[in-house]
């Protein structure tokens, strides 16, 4: 049976990229400690407990999916901006964009009795329009509880990133991302994977935090989940990760809808959440993007 390589939380970007480029996935061990896991649960359990089960087989009839983690949890904000993960995401997606952005935040809770999910690729979110030679995503699943074979640890097909979409994984080609709470599964948008079957008597809880190319539509609409009035208090780097910046040259500017002469005509999204030079479209923010 195949298995996923496990690295320490301090692993280098080069090592992470080498393994994900080859296998499509790996596990970083013990990234969060017990106190950080406790904070995550205290901040987000009320929302998770109020979330209804999935409405179809793919979402999972015994699965809950809770979003908008950025505005609901300080710990989730720190997880999204984890330096090891963000550095790896930037390096992995660099051939295809000038800037990356947050794609979605979601707690995935598999309740007892949840069956196996259909094996799929996350890049299918863009359907037939995503070219095969472009890697659109760098994904993570943070183990909030232990991930075991019994409770539905994520199924992964190592080495499947170059497979055609209609290739079916054989049982002997599939492994499970078993890991302790606080560890993180890193995987590409092209690797085949799915939620496992929860045969245990307790919930399997993971936080799915994913990154994508700055010029693509996000799966979770961050501008609605994280509106400007809430985002203004966040660090600049997190604002940019949410999409409050230019994706690349002339990508994402807007015109403030106030009366003529009251606001500049074309500005970067950064203008909505912080003071920026608005003399040109996007100002310094746009100029920085063109230098990359």
pLDDT tens figures, 175-221: 999 999 999 999 999 999 999 999 999 999 999 999 999 999 999 99
Residue 291 Cα distances to 75, 282, 284, angstroms: 32, 14, 11
Residue 159 has pLDDT above 90, yes or no: yes
- pLDDT tens digits, one per residue of 73-118: 999 999 999 999 999 999 999 999 999 999 999 999 999 999 999 9
CA distance 198 to 150: 6
Structure tokens given for 284? 């310094």
pLDDT of 288: 47
CATH code 2.60.120.620 for 6-222:
yes
Provide the residue ranges of all domains of the chain, joining segments of one domain with +: 6-222, 245-292
- What is the model's pTM? 0.93
Give per-residue pLDDT as tens, 108-154: 999 999 999 999 999 999 998 898 899 999 999 999 999 999 999 99
Considering only CA atoms, which of 203, 143, 220, 227 is closest in space to residue 177?
Answer: 143
Across 241-252, average pLDDT: 92
Longest dimension (CA), the chain: 66
Measured CA to CA, the distance from residue 162 to residue 142 in angstroms comes to 25
Torsion of CA 113, 118, 122, 127, to 10 degrees: -140
Contact indicator for 140, 209 with CB cutoff of 8 Å = yes
What would the mean pLDDT of 256-273 be, rounded to a whole number?
A: 83
Q: By C-alpha distance, which of 256, 135, 130, 150 is closest to 201?
A: 150
């Amino acid at each position: 049976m195949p298995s996923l390589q496990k690295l320490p939380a301090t692993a280098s970007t080069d090592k992470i990229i080498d393994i994900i480029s080859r296998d499509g996935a790996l596990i970083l061990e013990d990234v969060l400690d017990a106190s950080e896991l406790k904070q995550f649960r205290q901040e987000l359990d009320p929302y998770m407990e109020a979330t209804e089960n999935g409405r179809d087989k793919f979402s999972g009839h015994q699965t809950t999916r809770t979003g908008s983690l950025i505005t609901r949890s300080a710990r989730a904000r720190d997880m999204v901006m984890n330096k090891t993960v963000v550095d790896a995401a930037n390096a992995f997606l660099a051939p295809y964009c000038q800037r990356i952005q947050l794609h979605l935040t979601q707690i995935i809770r598999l309740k007892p009795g949840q069956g196996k999910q259909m094996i799929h690729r996350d890049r299918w979110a863009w359907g037939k329009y995503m070219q095969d030679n472009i890697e659109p995503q760098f994904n993570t699943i943070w183990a909030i509880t232990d991930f075991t074979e019994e409770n539905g640890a994520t199924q992964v097909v190592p080495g499947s990133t170059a497979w055609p979409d209609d290739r079916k994984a054989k049982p002997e080609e599939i492994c499970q991302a078993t890991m302790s709470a606080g560890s993180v599964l890193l995987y590409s948008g092209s690797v085949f994977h799915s939620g496992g079957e929860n045969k245990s008597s307790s919930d399997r809880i993971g936080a799915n935090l994913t990154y994508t190319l700055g010029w693509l539509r996000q799966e979770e609409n961050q501008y609605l989940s994280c509106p400007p009035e809430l985002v203004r208090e966040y660090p600049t780097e997190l604002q940019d990760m949410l999409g409050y910046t230019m994706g690349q040259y002339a990508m994402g500017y807007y015109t403030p809808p106030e009366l003529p002469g009251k606001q500049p005509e074309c500005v970067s999204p950064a203008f909505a959440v912080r003071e920026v030079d608005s003399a040109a479209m996007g100002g310094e923010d746009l100029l920085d993007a063109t230098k990359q």
